[in-house]
């Protein structure tokens, strides 16, 4: 894994995709360290004295040569709210790249399943898998069409499938209702990020289909690099830090999955 | 002017500078290798070590609070034998003083771990943790009454031949009385304060945030309490004090020296800025130069009360 760094970035743009979802583009000094799909960063919430800790955010995109780092974020509390209000030019300290990565298979069909902001690492993952020689399919689920923000880049990297609970886009229902998980299942692996119940349901499906399921967990954490031991998950080998042993886990190694 | 003298002496043990790291916030040191030169520090106190392997408490173990955080990790560690066999060989090369934080729930367990630490050549001292608030069956219980604090310190002192630092709990009626009891049994130094017991509640779900309901509060929120306790204890004992509690920058560290600390431990700040310790070190040197003070030792207890 590349060396972790603390770097100061400058906000280049915050794009609001919906009232509670935004993409934050940061500009740093190139070249950036290599970043792998599934890794995350601990991002400072600047100018916010009532926010004490950094916020762990999945890395959405990274352009090493141009020095760009992007995050796809849902506003859930005061920390992410402040980040959503950042203006171009504001400085943000970022500790990254943190954690492990999704396995990059070099052949076969791989099903990526994202729920809500679980889509954050999926574009990079689809691009990396395609680059490695695998065939990614990306299944994205949301409550309604306003939760689904698929750009041309997604279609270039993967076959894109959508479900919404109200049926306003794609197939009506949850991701687990999508026929791609039922008939003619020909994937060699499932990679997922999103709410725990969704990922647990996918782990069960993967077991039935005899394929590996990799899930990216989102436990709350203080440091992000293995010092505080706050973000643990129960595995078959005891408590493991999500920040250093994860965030991506083979669901067979997670207890009660 | 001449370079500021940063060396300090804690009860016969010299540190190259007064900046140490607090147990449970710095792993075993190597977690910070990407960010800083760990060798630059005066000392590191590694994660709380118990006789047996401990899984720690269930998730969630952390809650962000105003100017701080609660944790209830519960001394997750692989046990003293694992430390000696697998971790110690990887960290003993650091050119800094490595202290092992020794925790337990029974006196005989503390004694056994202390005996094992005697044999580790590059561990010049232990920090006796009689103040962990997150372990049901003990830990803090020893540090909250004078007789039990005295008893565990005495038992460990009898078998442990190197530097014995005792970490005190703030969750007591009189920390000075506990400090005196521990000093009377042969502690070489005192470190204070450990975390303050607290609760975080989610109003929407009406549930506690932590799996253990209560946890230990750390961060700048506790700094005024920590300063007060360091000041009070420094008036009551003769052995050196290692101060901690919410130190985020060099100014905070200097306040602890002025209150009576000989050295400091930086804890929660490491989570937010993994390079904070070396920045604090630089800031202390800058302060000494700016005030024409030759040695950091001259700051200890130098608060001027009129």
Q: Which of A227, A232, A239 sits opposite B271 (nearest CB)?
A: A227
Which residues in A lie closer than 8 A to residue B37 (C-beta atoms)? none
Q: What is the pLDDT of residue A31?
A: 96
Cβ neighbours, 10 Å, residue B85: 11
Tens place of pLDDT per residue across chain B (306 aa) = 568 999 999 999 999 999 999 999 999 999 999 999 999 999 999 999 999 999 999 999 999 999 999 999 999 999 999 999 999 999 999 999 999 999 998 999 999 999 999 999 999 999 999 987 777 655 677 888 999 999 999 999 999 999 999 999 999 999 999 999 999 999 999 999 999 999 999 999 999 999 999 999 999 999 999 999 999 999 999 999 999 999 999 999 999 999 999 999 999 999 999 999 999 999 999 999 999 999 999 999 999 986
CB contact under 8 A, B69 and A221: no
| Best CA proximity match to B184, nearest among B208, B204, B164, B206 | B164
CATH topology of domain B8-299: TIM Barrel (3.20.20)
Are the C-beta atoms of residues B60 and B209 closer than 8 Å to each other? yes
Q: Does A92 touch chain B (CB under 8 A)?
A: no
List the domain boundaries for chain A. Answer: 5-98, 109-253
Q: Which residues of chain A have pLDDT under 70?
A: none
Q: How many CB pairs under 8 A join A and B?
A: 87
Q: Which residues of B are catalytic?
A: 132
Which residues in A lie closer than 8 A to residue B65 (C-beta atoms)? 52
- Return the residue in B75, B274, B275, B278 with the most chain A beta carbons within 10 A, the one to mutate for interface testing: B274
- Give the chain A residue nearest B36 (alpha carbons): A5
Tokens of B37: 């030169």
CATH class given for the domain over A109-253: alpha beta
Q: Which of B55, B272, B275 sits opposite A53 (nearest CB)?
A: B272
Q: What is the pLDDT of residue B139?
A: 66
Q: What is the pLDDT of residue B279?
A: 98
Residue given tokens 């692989």 in the structure block: B78
* Residues whose CB falls within 8 Å of the CB of residue A176, separated by 6 or more in sequence, listed in order: A198, A201, A202, A205
- Coil, strand or helix at A13: strand
Q: Is the ipTM of this complex over 0.90?
A: yes
Question: Between residues 15 and 54 of chain A, which touch chain B (CB distance below 8 Å)?
Answer: 44, 49-54
Question: Between residues 139 and 178 of chain A, which touch chain B (CB distance below 8 Å)?
Answer: none
- Coil, strand or helix at A118: helix
Tens of pLDDT, residues A189-233:
999 999 999 999 999 999 999 999 999 999 999 999 999 999 999
Antiparallel, parallel or unpaired: β B263-266 and B19-21: parallel
Q: Does A185 touch chain B (CB under 8 A)?
A: no
b/e burial code for range A59-78 (CB count within 10 A of at least 16 → b): bbbbbeeebbbbbbbbbeee
Q: What is the pLDDT of residue B112?
A: 97
Question: Between residues 213 and 232 of chain A, which touch chain B (CB distance below 8 Å)?
Answer: 219-232
CB contact under 8 A, A223 and B35: no
Which residues in B lie closer than 8 A to residue A225 (C-beta atoms)? 31, 34, 274
Give percent of chain A above pLDDT 70.
Answer: 100
Q: Does A82 touch chain B (CB under 8 A)?
A: no
Q: What is the pLDDT of residue B2?
A: 63
- Residues A219 and A241: their CA atoms lie apart, in Å, by 9
Going by CATH, does the domain composed of A5-98 fall within 2.40.30.10?
Answer: yes
CB contact under 8 A, B274 and A222: no
Antiparallel, parallel or unpaired: β A40-43 and A91-98: antiparallel
Q: What is the pLDDT of residue B305?
A: 86
- Give the chain B residue nearest A233 (alpha carbons): B59
């Amino acid at each position: 894994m590349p060396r972790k760094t603390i770097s100061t970035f400058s906000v280049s743009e915050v794009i609001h995709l919906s009232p509670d979802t935004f993409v934050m583009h940061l500009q740093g000094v190139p070249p950036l360290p290599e970043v792998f799909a599934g890794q995350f960063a601990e991002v400072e919430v600047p100018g916010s004295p009532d926010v004490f800790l950094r916020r762990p955010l999945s890395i959405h995109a990274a352009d090493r040569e141009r020095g760009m780092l992007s995050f796809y974020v849902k506003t859930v509390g005061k920390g992410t709210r402040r980040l959503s209000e950042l203006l171009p030019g504001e400085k943000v300290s970022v500790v990254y790249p943190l954690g492990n990565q999704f396995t990059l298979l070099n052949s076969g069909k791989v099903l990526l399943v994202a729920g809500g902001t679980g889509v954050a690492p999926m574009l990079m993952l689809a691009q990396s898998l395609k680059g490695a020689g695998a065939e990614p399919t990306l299944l994205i689920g949301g409550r309604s069409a306003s939760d689904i923000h698929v750009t041309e880049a997604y279609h270039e990297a993967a076959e894109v499938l959508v479900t919404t609970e109200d049926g306003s886009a794609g197939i009506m229902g949850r991701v687990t209702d999508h026929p791609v998980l039922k008939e003619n299942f020909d994937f060699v692996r499932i990679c997922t990020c999103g709410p725990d119940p969704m990922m647990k349901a996918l782990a069960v499906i993967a077991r039935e289909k005899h394929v590996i399921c990799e899930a990216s967990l989102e436990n709350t954490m203080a440091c992000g690099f293995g010092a505080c031991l706050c973000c643990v998950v129960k595995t078959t080998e005891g408590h493991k830090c999500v920040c250093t042993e994860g965030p991506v886990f083979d669901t067979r190694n997670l207890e009660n999955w | 002017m001449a370079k500021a003298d940063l060396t300090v002496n804690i009860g016969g043990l010299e540190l190259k500078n007064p900046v140490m790291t607090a147990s449970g916030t710095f792993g075993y040191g190597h977690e910070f290798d990407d960010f800083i030169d760990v060798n630059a520090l005066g000392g590191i106190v590694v994660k709380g070590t118990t006789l047996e392997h401990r899984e720690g408490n269930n998730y969630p173990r952390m809650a962000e609070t105003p100017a701080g955080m609660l944790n209830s990790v519960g001394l997750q560690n692989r046990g003293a034998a694992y430390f000696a066999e697998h971790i110690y060989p990887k960290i003993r090369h650091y050119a800094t003083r490595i202290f092992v934080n020794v925790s337990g729930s029974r006196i005989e367990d503390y004694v056994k771990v202390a005996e094992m630490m005697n044999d580790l050549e590059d561990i010049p001292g232990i920090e006796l943790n009689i103040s962990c608030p997150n372990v049901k069956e003990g830990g803090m219980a020893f540090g909250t009454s004078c007789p039990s604090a005295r008893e565990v310190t005495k038992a460990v002192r009898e078998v442990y031949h190197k530097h014995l630092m005792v970490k005190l709990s703030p969750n007591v009626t009189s920390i000075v009385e506990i400090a005196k009891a521990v000093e009377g049994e042969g502690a070489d130094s005192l470190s204070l304060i450990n975390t303050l017991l607290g609760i975080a509640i989610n109003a929407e779900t009406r549930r506690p945030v932590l799996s253990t309901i209560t946890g230990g509060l750390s961060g700048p929120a506790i700094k005024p309490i920590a300063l007060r306790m360091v000041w009070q204890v420094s008036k009551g004992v003769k052995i050196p004090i290692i101060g901690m509690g919410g130190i985020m920058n060099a100014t905070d560290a200097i306040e602890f020296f002025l209150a009576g600390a000989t050295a400091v431990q930086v804890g929660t700040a490491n989570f937010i800025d993994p390079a904070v310790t070396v920045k604090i070190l630089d800031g202390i040197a800058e302060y000494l130069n700016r005030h024409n003070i030759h040695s950091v030792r001259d700051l200890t207890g130098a608060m001027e009360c009129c």
